[in-house]
């Protein structure tokens, strides 16, 4: 009974918390890196190719961070 409230054990996030976290990672990656790509386009005077590339890089980075942060939560079966 004492180990139920031990300070070593972190509470598991609910499904909605994990969903909002996933959405936040993906959207923030796409918006940030898309903005960087847009600014590079303006700086170099290129067509809007950098925006698309930046958004794709942001989506990939968001997925990578999502998998890195959530894999211990998904594999923990205690």
Q: Phi then psi for 45, rounded to 5 degrees?
A: 70, 35
Is 3 or 54 the better-scoring residue by pLDDT?
Answer: 54
The per-residue pLDDT for 26 is: 93
Count CB neighbours of 56 within 10 A: 14
Reported pTM:
0.70
Is 75 or 59 the better-scoring residue by pLDDT?
Answer: 59
Nearest to 71 by CA among 7, 35, 18: 18
């Amino acid at each position: 009974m004492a180990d139920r409230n031990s300070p070593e054990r972190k509470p598991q996030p609910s499904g909605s918390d994990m969903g909002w976290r996933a959405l936040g990672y993906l959207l923030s990656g796409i918006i940030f890196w898309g903005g960087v790509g847009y600014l590079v386009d303006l700086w170099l005077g290129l067509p809007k190719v950098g925006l698309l590339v930046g958004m794709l890089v942001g989506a990939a980075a968001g997925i990578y961070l999502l998998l890195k942060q959530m894999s211990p939560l998904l594999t923990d079966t205690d």
